[in-house]
Chain A
């Protein structure tokens, strides 16, 4: 790593100034009165937890969203950015987390798309070929211009995105979580490229949650927390510990009274589990752990580090390799099924209740039996549904979990997010499973309901159930779990007894500062 950061002089005109930017989506305020100055010729990091508002802010800068209020200044000139075209002509380039490439096009075709000179491609293509040649020698951005995108590795595809921006003469390059899909070697290479770009006078904004990357690669860092910009500091004047603290903040710890766990036998055992996603990227890289009866194991980590895939694999939704055994019975990981999971008395509260956990256009009572439609109480051996029983159960469970409104005939779509979550929990917890898999139990749930949900989970633990809780909320992990494993980049990087650790330590682990 080059250590020339300290010597770099302050450049005169700031590349970007944001003044009092606010943006709401319905009742949720994603950005609150944000002001930010990014100096040109620097690498400026933006860190924050999930939902802190980083991506929204950058989308405003790239013309994808329009801010409710506030101004944008590019090189001291007030600039309005109503669409991507305006952002491009203001010299802003963006590398999205999910690439915006045409997969069956060549590299060259992707580079010139939308930035062609003239109606015929010939000249544009040869011009782009020349420029790509220059760019590749200048910035270590080698990539075969005639390769088809879908044949390239993710790292090379990302390089094409950077080339696209540079070809459009971007002076300001925004990268959103660029290393999420890269191998460590690829990531190192990326940072070399970014430093080259900076040294040539370009400005780079790096959005990430990985503290090591911030410390290694950036000149300045801004921290965001729940929609607000909490600090902007010179990187060499801070430390991972300080950043973790700023990121996590000192939130009011919710009070959950619980006794010390009385852990019993091993209920679920996972050995060398690997999960590959639809794109062929290895998301869970061979992890091993177990959960005992009567304890809550927390899986902490910033979103996108493989926890979702882990939970979905355990829930029978995704294929995986390795071994998962429930009280000694190995699950079929090659052709998994939600059915088999439930037969093993495992309940699964998915992270994404709207996409997986519920049928949004079904009524509340129809959703109460969802996943359990084959149970004898809901359907007989002739395949006839016992709708009356389902409705009765729905009434009871919704009352018990205080789902509002208590109308069982209302479509789930018309409930608030918190009440949708309570419906899923009511369904899964009331089945009285031996093992509970639960992802983001309180995402989008109001304070009052959070406490109720937490107490229900504790109650299950005290009844001797084994619980795996995946959450990106550190508070939740700290107040609820007995043991915690931090997941980073597809691996479990630290195991702690919850009462013996603290937010700062976990925050460091979540940022990849392994011990």
Chain B
């Protein structure tokens, strides 16, 4: 049985997928009547050409790291958690409740509790679909989609009827108090005397997300639970042979997945808007799917893919500002990445495999 070397599998193929996605997107740009190379350079300059750009890029990347990790953990157990959007929305609610409920004297105290709040609410929103999958075999993809819509309805209801700040017209909570606001990139680098743009929303959550990349890597590859999750994901029957309970693995992996999606709230709700607004997730839950697919469900891959998508998002915003190319270009790129890496993998992989083995044979 022959196999491709690892570097082709985890590096070359994703890059080829990305290249094809970008090439197809370039055709769209060309069709719109803009120069793709110009567009690319505006995007890159806008995203990583200044501390302002970096500040936004990393802010977006932080969201995508959390949701990408969420999808990855579920993928390891062979679950497709498409409900990151709803779990992140609930996570945002949990974070907001923590921030609003107590008169926090300092963010150092507020942040750990907010992390717990976001994680618990996110996990809770994943719990019912997980339970129904584990116990009753209800397809997790469909139930998590349904829970996304329920989450959105629930949050609208709460923001309109319950949590709306008194006297405000907009359906959003009041601004969090000083002690529940997170230090931004500007603040943090300021402690070391480094100048950084004041306006972008990147904040300490980025460092937390890096920490979670490490935690998840550790969980998946260094703990017994991770070992069992991976074993279950590769072969349910073998896992059963080894005495691993399918119900436990489905529940635990989905709860972790939901918690990770919920953690996004500390970045978007506590870090950026500093209040709970309607649709605080902005599609990041779905981008997590693209990020996880591209990062091959490995936390390091997720980190790189999240930064890449951060660049695309910030670059896309710049592009919309300076050219006639709407922001939605990034949605197209994202769709193509998901399609190519997730569903059309065989289309790319099979020719590469053939080519590689031909070269190997010619070489020997």
Contacts and interface: CB of A to CB of B under 8 A. Distances in A.
Contacts of A350: 241
Contacts of A360: 234-235
A496 to B, nearest CB: 31
A198 interface: no
Interface string A336-359: 011111100000101000011111
Contacts of A304: none
Nearest to A340: B243
Nearest to B240: A317
A341 B242 CA distance: 10
Contact of A385 (B227, B242, B243): B227
Nearest to A339: B243
B231 interface: yes
Contact of A355 (B3, B227, B230, B235): B235
A362 B224 contact: no
Interface stretch (A205-213, A370-378, A485-493): A370-378
Contacts of A315: 241
B199 interface: no
Given A338-B240, A356-B241, A385 B234 contact: no
Contact of B223 (A338, A356, A383): A383
Given A317-B240, A338-B242, A348-B241, A384 B235 contact: no
A356 B236 CA distance: 9
A357 B241 CA distance: 7
Contacts of A338: 240-244
B224 A384 contact: yes
A385 B241 contact: no
| Interface majority SS (helix, strand, loop, mixed), chain B | helix
Contacts of B231: 359, 362, 370
B237 A341 contact: no
Most A Cβ at <10 Å: residue of B242, B244, B245: B242
A336 to B, nearest CB: 9
A361 B234 contact: yes
B228 interface: yes
Contacts of B224: 373-374, 378-379, 383-385
A252 B59 CA distance: 72
B241 A337 contact: no
Nearest to A350: B241
Nearest to A352: B237
A512 interface: no
Interface in B219-270: 222-228, 230-231, 234-235, 237-238, 240-245
A129 interface: no
Contact of A342 (B223, B226, B227, B243): B243
A183 B225 CA distance: 45
A366 interface: yes
Interface in A405-420: 411, 413-414
Contacts of A371: 241-243
Given A379-B224, A384-B224, A414-B3, A362 B243 contact: no
B1 interface: yes
Contacts of B225: 383
Most A Cβ at <10 Å: residue of B224, B231, B234, B245: B224
Nearest to B226: A385
Interface in B1-37: 1, 3
B249 to A, nearest CB: 13
A227 interface: no
Nearest to A378: B224
A385 B223 contact: yes
A370 B242 contact: yes
A428 B105 CA distance: 58
Contacts of B222: 384-385, 387
Interface in B291-350: none
A373 B1 contact: no
Interface in B183-240: 222-228, 230-231, 234-235, 237-238, 240
A425 to B, nearest CB: 15
A317 B241 contact: yes
Nearest to B235: A359
Interface string A378-398: 110001110100000000000
Given A361-B234, A413-B3, A414-B3, A373 B240 contact: no
Given A383-B224, A384-B224, A413 B1 contact: yes
Contacts of A411: 3
A433 interface: no
A337 B223 CA distance: 21
Given A339-B243, A385-B224, A362 B237 contact: no
Contacts of B238: 355-359, 370
A169 B161 CA distance: 71
A306 interface: no
A511 interface: no
A357 B231 CA distance: 11
Contacts of A340: 243
Interface string A312-349: 00011100000000000000000001111110000010
Nearest to B223: A383
A356 B237 contact: yes
A316 B234 contact: no
Contact of A373 (B3, B228, B234): B228
A385 B235 CA distance: 20
Contacts of A337: 243, 245
Contacts of A358: 238
B64 to A, nearest CB: 26
A179 B238 CA distance: 30
Contacts of B244: 338
Given A360-B234, A413-B1, A373 B227 contact: yes
Nearest to A358: B238
A341 B3 CA distance: 35
A341 B230 CA distance: 22
Given A383-B223, A383-B224, A414-B3, A355 B237 contact: yes
Contacts of B237: 355-356
A427 to B, nearest CB: 11
Contacts of B242: 338, 370-371, 373
25 contacts: A337-B243, A338-B240, A338-B242, A338-B243, A339-B243, A341-B243, A355-B237, A356-B238, A356-B241, A359-B238, A360-B234, A362-B230, A369-B227, A371-B241, A371-B242, A373-B227, A373-B228, A374-B224, A379-B223, A383-B225, A384-B223, A384-B224, A385-B224, A414-B1, A414-B3
Nearest 3 Cβ contacts at the A-B interface: A338-B243, A339-B243, A371-B242
Given A338-B243, A355-B238, 19 more contacts: A316-B243, A317-B241, A338-B242, A350-B241, A355-B235, A355-B237, A356-B238, A356-B241, A359-B230, A362-B234, A370-B238, A370-B242, A371-B242, A373-B227, A373-B228, A373-B242, A374-B224, A385-B224, A413-B3
Interface of B: 1, 3, 222-228, 230-231, 234-235, 237-238, 240-245
Interface of A: 315-317, 337-342, 348, 350, 355-362, 366, 369-371, 373-374, 378-379, 383-385, 387, 411, 413-414
